[in-house]
A and B are shown apart, each in its own frame.
Chain A
């Protein structure tokens, strides 16, 4: 033990460091970006200088810096900034639906598999593996083929394709949680399995599931934007980032690169920020759980 003796101030400093890991700059920056976009989406009607739908055929493809149109206009003379602000709203509706549905499906399947075990686990795991083989976009295209384009059908398609990720994660964390003594204690005190699962296990694993949802949200945003870009998602004249990309093609041919660049930049910025936050949270939970 003598070898371990060190000045107490030094010892305190090193344990202090270990307890509070250095703040992650990109994580904080990403949180800032997301807050800024959230505010923009909520306050869109207040912030937007124009009606996002009002067409001005006399002022098409105006460059950024045009008086009254800080980011310029699109091929129909609609104000880009206003459309981006309102687009922030439309663009999160789809992923929100997708993630909500996939959480319901995934958590139910994963928790049931882990909790019941036996043949139920075997069947659910097989179904999960099967769904895993389905690319999200393909599932969404199927859904559109069946139910027509719009927000809901592609979102549900994406939800089904994403649910196995949540199911697998839920299954593994529930299996770990099952061994915890306070879960065993619930059973010995006479609580039913279902009640223990819902009131003790699920609240304790919620943080890690939420972290995974944030990551999945980013992917859903990209996939749904891609569908809108292909004309299978949100329909004109709605303001939506994916749809704006789709509509920017003719402008691009005329050299008006900004019509495409701004929605693309928004999309990339938000997705990267969401991923950074989600992965960061998953990392922290992972570390905590391993301890």
Chain B
């Protein structure tokens, strides 16, 4: 059974100008325990795929299956909601917006744990375990998100997603907002978790170094259509579609870089990432 399967999925947003399709006949699959990279320029439909998988948006056509269950828009009823949440979770790009500013990180995780029927007494202990797993201690657990760094917040968001106990994790530009050295740490964390928890990943990113580092296969999306699909290594080495070639050329290769950073000389970037 596949972790995720999209078969001929299309999506037209009701408010879309001129009825333009955000997704058009997209088919892709992620095997159990595998990691699929999703690459494409801005507006190509990457986040739309995530929203459909999460049940935040219904697909306009086609079939979406997660671990054998068909997904069609928001799950109805408490039981369906809980079960769906356990199938798939997401870590968003911006850790500054994904955590409730009024809730201590540990409390946010406890609240999620209790929703997923962990006893009140055990929830605190489990929350601390989850935070420890992503490299955060008790001090961070009692901190409001505003008191933490971007990297710490992103780890907290990962711990919160893991609290649900999902089989699949979507990472939508999950390291793009982080510092170079922190990016490397978080990517290593993803690789570790994959082994430890048997998670499957859908890894949405602009960053080819990231794709290379954490995915087995990759899909290239353009204007809502799949233009290329194959093992990451081959796809990056010998792209067949002209669009992929163009895309690869337009994205700087090499060390992961913070989005708005000035260009760093490769040598400097290297020492920065290895010294961490």
Contacts and interface: CB of A to CB of B under 8 A. Distances in A.
Contacts of A204: 100-102
Contact of B100 (A187, A188, A190, A200): A200
B98 A181 contact: yes
Interface string B71-97: 000100010011011100110101001
A181 B94 contact: yes
A189 B84 CA distance: 9
Main secondary structure of the interface of A (DSSP, over half): helix
A269 interface: no
B100 A191 contact: no
B7 interface: no
A261 interface: no
Chain A interface category by residue count = 10 to 19
Contacts of B102: 203-204
Contacts of B148: none
Given A188-B89, A189-B164, A182 B115 contact: no
For B89, B100, B157, the residue with the greatest tally of chain A CB atoms inside 10 Å of its CB is B100
A200 B100 CA distance: 7
Contact of B85 (A188, A199, A200, A203): A188
B97 A181 contact: yes
A182 B112 contact: no
Nearest to A184: B56
A8 interface: no
A190 B82 contact: yes
Nearest to A183: B100
Contacts of B160: 185, 189
A191 B56 contact: no
A192 interface: yes
B126 interface: no
A22 interface: no
For A181, A191, A203, A204, the residue with the greatest tally of chain B CB atoms inside 10 Å of its CB is A181
Interface string B161-184: 100100000000000000000000
Q: Which 9 A-B pairs have the closest CB atoms?
A: A190-B85, A181-B97, A181-B98, A182-B100, A190-B81, A190-B82, A188-B54, A181-B92, A189-B112
Interface of A: 180-182, 184-185, 187-192, 199-200, 203-204
6 contacts: A182-B99, A185-B92, A187-B56, A188-B90, A190-B115, A192-B81
Given A182-B100, A185-B90, 4 more contacts: A190-B81, A190-B85, A191-B115, A192-B78
